[in-house]
Amino acid sequence: MKLPIDSLSVRVLSAPLREQVPMSFSALTERRSVLVTVGAGGVTGTGETWVNYPGWAWRERLATLDGLRPLLIGADAADPAALMSGLAARLHGVARQWGAPGPLWQALSGIDMAIWDLLGHVHGRPVADLLGNGTATATRVPAYGSGVGPTGVAELTERALELGLTAIKIKVGFGEETDLTTIRGVRAVAGPGLPVFADANQAWDPATARHMCTVLAEHGVAWFEEPLAGDRPDDLAALAAATGAAIAGGENVYGAPAYAELMTLPALAHVQPDPSKTAGISLSDEIGRMPGTAKLSPHCYGGAATLAASVHLVAAAPRPGWIELDLRENPLRTDVATGLGVGSDGFIPVPTGPGLGLTYDRRTLDRYT
């Protein structure tokens, strides 16, 4: 059955933050999200494209989605993976010339997510059931609390424990003293046993990374995410060989060949494509099935649709990892839609409704539009 796409619409959401979210490269001052809605034969699906950085990314995204519209209208939504790989191949040359594989993949990711939601509604089945062979789906997936430090360490750790979460990820790369204050702050609240991961957002040079991975490992940090500037597989392999560090990464990798190369890294414990940014649902699912030992733990720092997409992906993955749950305020994730929630055991039940399983609240959406 063919499903010719007949509409593409976008909605820009923003929500002011009471407190900035510090990152090792730049603070996030406002929550932003661009929802992408694709229609075919009277059915619609909604996805999200990542526009966290830079602050004007939403303007670029509107233009890019507008540019992609003529390629989408009339295209077949029945096989999203084939549609996305076809579009990526067709646009590869122009993206290279533009120097913008990132923005292009980010736009395609939002479209792809919308098409999977649409397809779920057409078939009356959750996205997780449509991925892979449709049999290896979990009913719940574990979530860790993300975004702890360098500010709000005790408060955010307490929030994670109150939610029942069974692991935490700290932000590092702010200098040794600050990073050690963060890990000590987490341990002071959560004790020595809680699994803790560390995300450097590519802040370290090789020598600093070797030192910090060794120092933080003494505090029981279980994985090191994007430890190196550039994050080239050879450099990561050298870091892992020198320190024994388990590596996580993938939120800034674009295209199937680059992910395939990353997956050859023996020290890669978790691969982290982002369904709203780098890989949509189609390529994220493919990455999770590539040869290797890394578990699929998608990057998720966006709204409700991205979190839902992550949950479906991990539920269907042959090597399921963790769901990233940002602990800081984000009404674009928590308030605009129902259908997703964390159980008291720290697991997120996989939505059983069609598509991504979200129901948007029109009034709340309008308020943030």
Closest CA to 134 of 300, 282, 298, 317: 317
User: In this complex, which beta carbon is closest to Mg ion, that of residue 179 or of residue 199?
Assistant: 199
What's the min distance (Å) between Cβ of 201 and Mg ion? 6
Q: Residue 25, class by beta-carbon neighbours within 10 Å (0-12 exposed, 13-18 middle, 19+ buried)?
A: exposed
- CA angle centred on 258, ends 257 and 262, rounded to 5°: 115
User: In this complex, which beta carbon is closest to Mg ion, that of residue 169 or of residue 210?
Assistant: 169
What's the min distance (Å) between Cβ of 60 and Mg ion? 22
Choices 17-25, 197-205, 309-317, 325-333; region in contact with Mg ion by CB under 5 A: 197-205
Closest CA to 35 of 50, 51, 47: 47
Q: Please state the separation of Cα 183 from the chain's center in Å.
A: 23
What's the min distance (Å) between Cβ of 353 and Mg ion? 29
Residue 284 to residue 287: CA distance in whole angstroms: 5
DSSP H/E element including 169: strand 168-171
Query: Does residue 199 interact with Mg ion by CB under 5 A?
Result: yes
Closest CA to 103 of 70, 58, 69: 58
DSSP string, 274-336: -TTTTSHHHHHHHHHTSSSS-EE-----S-HHHHHHHHHHHHH-SSB--EEEE-S--HHHHTS
Q: Using CB under 5 A as the criterion, what x/- string covers residues 240-279 for binding Mg ion?
A: ----------------------------------------
User: In this complex, which beta carbon is closest to Mg ion, that of residue 53 or of residue 98?
Assistant: 53
What's the min distance (Å) between Cβ of 25 and Mg ion? 11
Residue with tokens 């407190």: 19
Choices 12-20, 66-74, 195-203, 303-311; region in contact with Mg ion by CB under 5 A: 195-203
User: In this complex, which beta carbon is closest to Mg ion, that of residue 48 or of residue 225?
Assistant: 225
What's the min distance (Å) between Cβ of 275 and Mg ion? 14
Structure tokens at 162: 């109150």
Site for Mg ion, residues 120 to 149, rule: CB under 5 A = none
Structure letter (DSSP) for residue 234:
H
User: In this complex, which beta carbon is closest to Mg ion, that of residue 32 or of residue 121?
Assistant: 32
Number of residues that bind Mg ion (CB under 5 A): 2
- CA angle centred on 192, ends 191 and 197, rounded to 5°: 105
Query: Does residue 117 interact with Mg ion by CB under 5 A?
Result: no
What's the min distance (Å) between Cβ of 43 and Mg ion? 34
User: In this complex, which beta carbon is closest to Mg ion, that of residue 117 or of residue 225?
Assistant: 225
User: In this complex, which beta carbon is closest to Mg ion, that of residue 112 or of residue 199?
Assistant: 199
Question: By beta-carbon distance, which residue lies closest to Mg ion?
Answer: 199
User: In this complex, which beta carbon is closest to Mg ion, that of residue 144 or of residue 347?
Assistant: 144
All residues at 6 or more sequence positions from 210 whose CB lies less than 8 Å from its CB, including other chains: 239, 242, 243
User: In this complex, which beta carbon is closest to Mg ion, that of residue 179 or of residue 225?
Assistant: 225
DSSP H/E element including 347: strand 347-349
Choices 140-148, 194-202, 262-270, 347-355; region in contact with Mg ion by CB under 5 A: 194-202
What's the min distance (Å) between Cβ of 251 and Mg ion? 5
What's the min distance (Å) between Cβ of 292 and Mg ion? 19
Query: Does residue 326 interact with Mg ion by CB under 5 A?
Result: no
Residue 221 to residue 213: CA distance in whole angstroms: 8
Structure tokens at 309: 């997409």
Site for Mg ion, residues 204 to 243, rule: CB under 5 A = 225
What's the min distance (Å) between Cβ of 130 and Mg ion? 27
The binding site for Mg ion (CB under 5 A) comprises 199, 225
